[in-house]
Structure 1
């Protein structure tokens, strides 16, 4: 199994990965993109992950790098979005619920000093 995992880490393309997983027919690019989007949506609906940034937040990040970028009609930047950007929360996004700067979390997205090793800072069984 370790050899299989090592081999998978060497892959550079999804077709290589899918072949290793035993898929006989490769999906089209459109089918594969649809599948990936659905897995993200399903994960969000199940509560396993969240969409880390909104279109408004993404616009603010881009505007910082490209001040003249235009905003789409469907994007509405709120005061909360501007506060989020000003506070630097955009530097700590997370796909996981209750983690990262904007979504909250136990320490506001900062390490508690133990790198998530538990209350005693141990490294688990040895």
Structure 2
């Protein structure tokens, strides 16, 4: 993309930490990258934008908030941790998580509005 190697310091720090405390995510990242490059040692499955992990966590948090404020709070904390973890471990750029969250919020709002209109049109006998 012509951006240089902006994330090399992060990857160096993760590799250094991996020598002391194994980080399984790094070997998985290598396998996914090998698969992306078509190497037989790799596996396919890279999907980075938007982050579906963050999107799923936000969707769960939205629904949980409707059920209970305390459960919702717990799930929002979980969503934030998923977002932070995906960036800190080098799986995603922050924008991937923001986009995932925004897409889910938009779908949630649009679906809610559509269901409200459908309810308003329903005739109860």
TM over 0.5: no
Question: Is the helix fraction higher in 1 or 2?
Answer: 2
TM-score by length of 2: 0.24
TM-score by length of 1: 0.24
